[in-house]
Amino acid sequence: MGNTHAWPVLHTTDLNEAWNLATALLKAASWYRPDACYLNAWATTDDELRRLTETHPTALVTPYGPDGATLPASLELAADDSEQARENLRSWAAITSCHILWHDLKWPPVPGLGLDEEYKYAELEIACHSHDIHCEEWTPDHTVFIHARPGHDDRAAWLAQQVGTEVMGPPEFGW
């Protein structure tokens, strides 16, 4: 049992740039299941909730308001393939903060750093309109995060180098 650490490797206002970097990182993985990802969005107003559910009526809506109030609410949506995931992310990012998380993948071994293949803590995320994995504060930027085992700063830096970028700050406590 444990939680990941998440290292930011890109801040951009261009969602396509974030998607392309995430796709390159998925190709750097030693294995992944394209359908093993889900999207989460947060609605804080009735209008956001209405627009999000109109866009994807099958989304699971979980209210978090006090005493059973509908708002705020979290919405979760599974994606069956990469292109569907991209379109779903784009539609929700046009409405509110959201993220996509790929969770069934493996980071490759890095023998030069003494790192074996990593499955348990290997995840990848795009946080839309946020600089943190929980999308707690809205920004115009989208952030790509590499999730890995706590203390594996070298793995995060190595993975970032494989796709021509670098770690942009300290890790945050992940999932």
Using alpha carbons, select from 90, 95, 91 the residue that is nearest to residue 46.
95
Percent of the chain whose predicted confidence (pLDDT) is above 90: 89
CB atoms within 10 A of CB 82: 16
Predicted TM-score (pTM) of this structure: 0.96
In DSSP terms, 7 is beta-bridged to: 146
CA separation for the pair 45, 37 (Å, rounded): 26
Residues 6+ apart with CB under 8 A from 36: 102, 103, 104, 105
CA separation for the pair 11, 98 (Å, rounded): 15
pLDDT digits (tens, 9 = 90+) for 127-166: 999 999 999 999 999 999 999 999 999 999 999 999 999 9
